[in-house]
Amino acid sequence: MSSLAIKRLESALHARHFDRTLLNRRAPGGRVSPTGWTPLDAALGGGWARGELSEVVGARSSGRTWLLQATLAAATRRGEVVALVDAMDRFDPRSAAAAGIDLARLLWIRGPALTAEHTRSTLLEAAVSKAVRAFDLVLRSGGFAVVALDLADIPPRIVGALPLATWMRIARVNADRDTSALLVGDAPMSRSAGGVSIRLAAVGVWTGATAQQRRLARLDLRADVVSARHGQGALQVGA
């Protein structure tokens, strides 16, 4: 009797598209977009789920941009097209090319050239609002394998000033589409909208015995995977 009631409740939630956030459910054989980082792909069951809104968060130099570019590179190498909404115009094409992104397959939407560290809150809020609208437009258009919104380096209080339903609405827009929607930021934004949330931390690895030989070799990444699907406990992935 109780199982019947649970099934009814689940179907009611499914009918209202709330099952993604409340239930530990993932469609079997659902399509994914590989992240381009093998340990993380293994932890996520292949990569970012399509039709969901996932996020990568972390402090500066935690490898957020590297993971974003690795994801975009993996998609463009398969011949798919991707889009990046660059809220603060901080995308570096050279780094992207070095990461393996086919730049011709990347739709780059550049926000205003602001310095978040200098700019007044009102301007930043306007830039974030525009970026979210652009993100929404690209997702609605369809046909992109990965659509990312880069809100990194924007103070969390500015992102937090967005209406509460923003991410839920965007997650609904992307539901059942063949697109992985990805947010990149300093702090968690859309955890309630379903999808996967990755918290990154990194340590710089420097090589060279002398001062003249020293160079930054790589960032040693560590990812905490937190999501509705992995609700039992956070997974940790190391480089």
Partner 1 sequence: MTLITCLVRSPSRPATPGALEAVARACSPRVVPWRDEAAVFDASGLDRAIGPPARIATEVMRLSAERGLHVRVGIAGVTTTAWLLAHAQPGISIAMPGREADALAPLPLETLKVMAVGPAAPIGLRVAPDLECLEILRRWGLSTLGDLARLPRGDLHARLGPDGVRLHQVASGEDECPLAPVDEVARYRERCELEWPIDGLEPLAFVVARLCESLEVRLERADRGAVVVTTRLRLVTRTSHERTLHMPAPMREPRVLRTLILLDLESHPPEAAIDIVEIDLEVAPGNVVAGALFDLTLPSPEDLATLVARLGALMGETRIGAPVLVETFDGRTRAIKAFKATKAIDAIGTIEAIDAIRANLPMPGWSLRRLPLPIAARVCVEQGRPVRVTPAARGLPGGPVKQCAGPWRSSGAWWTLDRRTWDRDEWDVELPGGVYRLARDRATGSWSIDAIVD
Of 85-114, binders to partner 1 (CB under 8 A) are: 88-111, 113-114
Least distance (Å) between residue 58 CB and partner 1: 9
Q: Measure the CA–CA gap between 132 and 129, rounded to whole angstroms.
A: 5
Which of the residues 159 through 178 are near partner 1 (CB under 8 A)?
Answer: 178
Answer yes or no whether residue 147 interacts with partner 1 by CB under 8 A. no
Q: Measure the CA–CA gap between 50 and 175, rounded to whole angstroms.
A: 8
Task: Using the rule CB under 8 A, give the single segment among 21-29, 135-143, 161-169, 190-198 that binds partner 1.
Answer: 135-143
In terms of CB distance, is 5 or 209 closer to partner 1?
209
Answer yes or no whether residue 157 interacts with partner 1 by CB under 8 A. no
In terms of CB distance, is 106 or 228 closer to partner 1?
106
Which of the residues 51 through 90 are near partner 1 (CB under 8 A)?
Answer: 59-66, 68-69, 76-81, 88-90
In contact, 93 and 65? CB cutoff 8 Å:
no
In terms of CB distance, is 7 or 92 closer to partner 1?
92
Q: Which of 204, 205, 170, 190 is nearest to 56 (CA)?
A: 190
Going through the chain in order, the beta strands assigned E by DSSP cover 32-33, 48-49, 53-58, 82-86, 106-110, 146-150, 180-185, 196-207, 215-227, 235-238
Least distance (Å) between residue 164 CB and partner 1: 23
The secondary structure element, H or E, covering residue 41 is: helix 38-44
